[in-house]
Amino acid sequence: MAAAVVVARGAGARAATAATLRGGCGTAARGRPCVGPARPLCAAPGTAPDMKRYLWERYREAKRSTEELVPSIMSNLLNPDAIFSNNEMSLSDIEIYGFDYDYTLVFYSKHLHTLIFNAARDLLINEHRYPAEIRKYEYDPNFAIRGLHYDVQRAVLMKIDAFHYIQLGTVYRGLSVVPDEEVIEMYEGSHVPLEQMSDFYGKSSHGNTMKQFMDIFSLPEMTLLAIEADIEKYICYAEQTRAVLAKLADHGKKMFLITNSPSSFVDKGMSYIVGKDWRDLFDVVIVQAEKPNFFNDKRRPFRKMNEKGVLLWDKIHKLQKGQIYKQGNLYEFLKLTGWRGSRVLYFGDHIYSDLADLTLKHGWRTGAIIPELRSELKIMNTEQYIQTMTWLQTLTGLLEQMQVHRDAESQLVLQEWKKERKEMREMTKSFFNAQFGSLFRTDQNPTYFLRRLSRFADIYMASLSCLLNYDVSHTFYPRRTPLQHELPAWSERPPTFRTPLLQEAQAK
């Protein structure tokens, strides 16, 4: 998302930067004549140019242009409750809606993450003989972000971009950052070869050394969660979940639930956030599905569970509304329901185990639930962020344009600019997370996470409640952001369609 937004907003910044850089002093954008960049302003005929003065004048002019641009960007803030599109899709074509459970229909509080952390820590001490001293470590919800890679052999956690390059400064061993020099020595540079990356589902296997943490939390044993008495403490009540399901039901849409969580866990949570009659809203409910195996293994049959949670062993000939089924596989699911192709839209939070196989192998449309999106967009709507990013892009363009000047005086100025750029990049990272930055972007590239999100999700949003802002026949159009070899001039004009802006949403 950050990549899309920065590109969309950055088009205007690039246009202003280009207007500034096309002229020797940047005045061409205001209609006054100027000389080209090859000849400094203050170079009189027959005299040596004062390169230092010339470059700093260009710098100040670019700064002024940036400051003039910021107010127009501030008037077009993005709506954190919008749905964003990677692929054109019309909801009028969708007849069947499917959902994951955890972090799709239900969200959890930080107290649950603390509970999981403490349970895992105690397990290491009591069962695996880890030193009792690790009990002093408490869960820090602000340390890491989703989508990071963990090198199992070297015991380091890091952020990797879409091109398999490690973002230096984001490599941690324990809670300590690993110096860039050590990282470069370990990996003979900052690139991680394909054969060392995780497998298709983000796991470390078949000799791969990397594991990617794609889901918001992983529970090795659901029995750790005896939370019935404290459900208000662990589940974030979301009344809009019922509103979304009721809206779809009112429009005659079929709905199903496929989750890896057990029946009792799902029933307790859904009864709390939706109501005791939650099963009446779903045509099919499948628990302990063991995704992603559910989408690939044709051998596992469905088994029906009775009201007491006892597993029945009768052969399943039909998936009945109001019943709960365990395990099974997608091929049998398709055979029993006939729900195939692009009329099915499935929502989940795990890019690999929820969405990848569905879009690549089965032709379903997919929607990714990315809770972090809302908080990141709110940060990106702040004036400080907009000012910093706009100037950072302008300064980068200035560096690219002025690097043709190779004399010693010019190079000293350019080194100062590079230092400022490096400091600003570190600042933009800390806006989101002090250790790892944005979920969606490294310094300048999309993250590995965003690359997979763009490939496997037709649309993505912060929560299902975003659907309430759209008609059931709404068509989502992806932004046509300029490619590296395309001119950004078209984006200076008001677009025919765009994702909802905050100002527009508030007007409604």
Question: Is 349 annotated for ligand binding?
Answer: yes
Cβ atoms of 81 and 17 closer than 8 Å: no
DSSP-assigned letters across all residues of 291-314 = TTGGGT-SSPPEEEE-TTSPBP-S
- The one catalytic residue in 100, 151, 354, 357 is 100
Helices (H), 352-492: 357-361, 372-380, 383-402, 408-432, 448-456
Cβ atoms of 171 and 156 closer than 8 Å: yes
Quote the DSSP letter at residue 263. H
Beta strands in 64-129 (DSSP E): 84-85, 89-90, 96-99, 107-108
Beta bridge partners of 459: 85, 367
Quote the DSSP letter at residue 191. B
Q: Pull the structure tokens for residue 348.
A: 């989940």
Question: Is 100 annotated for ligand binding?
Answer: yes
Task: Specify whether 443 is catalytic.
Answer: no
Question: Pick from 310, 428, 417, 333: which is nearest to 52 by CA?
Answer: 417
Cβ atoms of 383 and 74 closer than 8 Å: yes
Question: Pick from 102, 339, 337: which is nearest to 225 by CA?
Answer: 102
Task: Specify whether 102 is catalytic.
Answer: yes
| Number of helices and strands in the chain (H, E) | 14, 18
Q: Note the Cα 91 to chain centre separation in Å.
A: 22
Bridge-based pairing of strands 254-258 and 149-151 is unpaired
Cα–Cα dist 470/251, whole Å: 13
Question: Pick from 496, 499, 501, 493: which is nearest to 381 by CA?
Answer: 501
- The one catalytic residue in 102, 354, 357, 443 is 102
Query: Which residues are marked as active site?
Result: 100, 102
Binding-site members for GMP are 102
List residues forming the annotated binding site: 100, 102, 349
Binding residues for Mg(2+): 100, 349
